[in-house]
């Protein structure tokens, strides 16, 4: 089973609304990262949050991390059509290989 699992798998909202995506993971992490992917293209890094941090902001993005619940959320405020993309969380595990493990992603559609 996946280390990181996003919820929901797909989300469709109206432009201007806020979008919230969640990520749950199973084992202890060094950091958790969020990436965006436009259709069929490379991923773009959004935010990295370390295990000792609880919240980070970047523009219209807000990421929270709850290590006790092994979960993170990504909030996009005042969504725009250009935010339409797939969003992935990636976890950097403490144990094992020093790599990122990606979840299956949330497909976000912003309707004009």
Q: List interacting residues with other proteins (CB under 8 A).
A: 2, 30-31, 33, 35, 40-45, 48, 88, 90, 92, 97-105
Q: Which is nearer to other proteins, 41 or 80 (CB)?
A: 41
Q: Which is nearer to other proteins, 13 or 92 (CB)?
A: 92
Q: Which is nearer to other proteins, 11 or 101 (CB)?
A: 101
Q: Which is nearer to other proteins, 18 or 58 (CB)?
A: 58
Q: How far is the CB of 29 from other proteins (least distance, A)?
A: 9
Within a 10 A sphere around the Cβ of 11, how many other Cβ atoms? 18
Give the 3-state DSSP-derived string for the chain, with helices as H, strands as E and coil as C.
CCCEEEECCEEEEECCCCEEEEEEECCCEEEEEEEEECCCCCEEEEEEEECCCCEEEECCEEEEEECCCCEEEEEECCCCHHHCEEEEEEEEECCCCCCEEECCCEEEEEEC
Q: How far is the CB of 103 from other proteins (least distance, A)?
A: 7
Q: How far is the CB of 6 from other proteins (least distance, A)?
A: 10
């Amino acid at each position: 089973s996946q280390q990181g699992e996003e919820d929901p798998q797909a989300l469709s909202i109206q432009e201007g609304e806020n979008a919230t995506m969640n990520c749950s993971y199973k084992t202890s992490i060094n950091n958790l990262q969020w990436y965006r992917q436009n259709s069929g293209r490379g991923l773009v890094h959004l935010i990295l949050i370390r295990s000792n941090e609880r919240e980070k902001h970047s523009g219209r993005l807000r990421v929270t991390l709850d290590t006790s619940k092994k979960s993170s959320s990504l909030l996009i405020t005042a969504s725009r059509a250009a935010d339409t993309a797939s969003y992935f969380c990636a976890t950097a595990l403490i144990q094992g290989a020093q790599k990122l493990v990606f979840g299956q992603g949330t497909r976000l559609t912003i309707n004009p």
